[in-house]
Amino acid sequence: MRTARTELPRGAGFRVALRRATRTRGNVDVPLEDLGVQADEVHELTERDVTGRNHDLLTAAAALLS
């Protein structure tokens, strides 16, 4: 398994924006994240997904649809 890098290659960068939202009325202060949709299938990203245009993810999705 590869170790985490401290710097991104070739000066690449990214930002992540997070916002916590809550419901109103009967669910005041209940985070929407806690009321979310449950997945029927989960695909853990592979190195080939990250480096190869989601090859394994698309293969898994096609298998589910067939």
Q: How far apart are the first and last CA of the chain?
A: 32
- How many helices (H) and strands (E) the chain has is answered by 2, 0
Q: What pLDDT score does 40 carry? A: 83
pLDDT tens per residue across all 66 residues of the chain: 566 656 777 777 777 776 666 566 776 666 665 556 667 888 999 999 999 999 999 999 999 998
- C-alpha 9, offset from chain centre: 21
Q: What pLDDT score does 56 carry? A: 95
Q: What is d(CA 22, CA 33) in angstroms, rounded to the nearest whole number?
A: 8
Q: What pLDDT score does 15 carry? A: 77
